[in-house]
């Protein structure tokens, strides 16, 4: 059972979501505007937020940015928009997952279960030892990471991805394994992994074309290893 906030201005869709989630034994609160959603999140604890983009007072993408300013609660975007560039932006702005309308209640349930598993897994006891790879230093207990002595400002998912790869230096990890271990999903879209890898690369000061730590092997997977020393 989870505490869910539904942010949806369409009364028919909202009622259907409330009914389905309540029948699944979740505790549900619902609002129809972005500002109401911000007030709810500021005053109540939720396990997951289902956020519509077409809100009457503020676009859902802007609402997502504002939510991320005050909470790290998992957010599933529910949208009729299927533009790939916009979906990438939403993931970059902190969305944990997205569903394109219309979607079935079964699909919503599966995505919610995956998001909740991921969120709960981050609360489990992490490895106690620090991880060091080249100039990277990762403290799993404090969930802190630094590069060459400078702290990295990472999202929850970025930290999990970095720590998982850094814990296996030089080992090529498949996208299927990343989905299972970092995203806690048995299936998913490679685009989600690529977006988070791209985001993480920027914070490590590298690009896919000029990697230092994160190396992609096309059709195989990803590995993290220390930068090679330049030849004399």
pLDDT tens-digit series, residues 194-228? 888 998 999 999 998 999 999 998 888 899 999 87
CATH 2.30.30.140 assigned to domain 131-224? The reply is no
Other Cβ atoms within 10 Å of 124 Cβ, number = 6
Compute the chain's Rg from CA coordinates. Answer: 19
Other Cβ atoms within 10 Å of 82 Cβ, number = 10
Other Cβ atoms within 10 Å of 128 Cβ, number = 8
Instruction: Give the C-alpha separation, 203 to 12, whole Å.
Output: 42
Phi first, then psi, for residue 224 (nearest 5°) are: -115, 130
* Residues 36, 37, 41, 47, CA torsion sign: positive
Q: Beta strand pairing status for 97-100 and 131-133?
A: unpaired
Secondary structure of residue 20 in the 3-state scheme: helix
Q: Which of 91, 123, 94 is nearest to 188 (CA)?
A: 91
Print burial letters for 140-166: b (CB count within 10 Å at least 16), e (below 16): beeeebebeeeebebbebbbbbbbbbb
Say if 3-121 and 131-224 have the same CATH topology. Answer: no
Burial of 40 (0-12, 13-18, 19+ CB in 10 A): middle
CATH class, range 3-121 = alpha beta
Q: Which of 12-21, 26-35, 85-94 has the lowest mean pLDDT?
A: 85-94
Give the start-to-end residue ranges of the domains of the chain: 3-121, 131-224
pLDDT tens-digit series, residues 35-47? 999 999 888 889 8
Does the structure show a pLDDT above 80 at 184?
A: no
Angle between helix axes 60-68 and 84-92 (nearest 10 degrees) is 20
Of 89-98, 107-116, 142-151, where does the model show the most confidence?
142-151
Q: Which of 18-32, 102-116, 213-227 has the lowest mean pLDDT?
A: 102-116
User: Residue 195's pLDDT is what?
Assistant: 84
pLDDT tier for residue 125 given thresholds of 50, 70 and 90: very low
């Amino acid at each position: 059972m989870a505490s869910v906030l539904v942010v949806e201005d369409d009364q028919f869709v909202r009622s259907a979501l409330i009914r389905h989630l309540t029948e699944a034994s979740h505790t549900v609160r619902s609002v129809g505007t972005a500002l109401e959603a911000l007030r709810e999140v500021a005053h109540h604890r939720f396990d997951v937020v289902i956020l519509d983009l077409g809100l009457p007072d503020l676009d859902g993408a802007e609402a997502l940015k504002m939510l991320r300013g005050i909470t790290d609660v998992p957010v599933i975007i529910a949208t009729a928009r299927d533009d790939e560039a916009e979906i990438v932006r939403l993931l970059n702005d902190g969305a944990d997952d997205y569903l394109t309308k219309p979607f079935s209640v079964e699909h919503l349930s599966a995505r919610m279960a995956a998001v909740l598993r991921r969120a709960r897994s981050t609360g489990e006891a992490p490895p106690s030892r620090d991880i060091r790879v080249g100039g990277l230093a990762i403290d799993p207990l404090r969930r802190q990471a630094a590069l060459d002595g400078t702290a990295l400002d990472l999202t929850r998912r970025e930290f999990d991805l970095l720590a998982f790869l850094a814990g296996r230096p030089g080992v090529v990890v498949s996208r299927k394994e990343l989905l299972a271990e970092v995203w806690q999903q048995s299936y998913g879209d490679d685009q989600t992994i690529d977006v988070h890898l791209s985001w993480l690369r920027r914070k490590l000061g590298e690009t896919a074309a000029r990697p230092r730590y994160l190396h992609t092997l096309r059709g195989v997977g990803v590995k993290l290893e220390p930068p090679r020393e330049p030849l004399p």
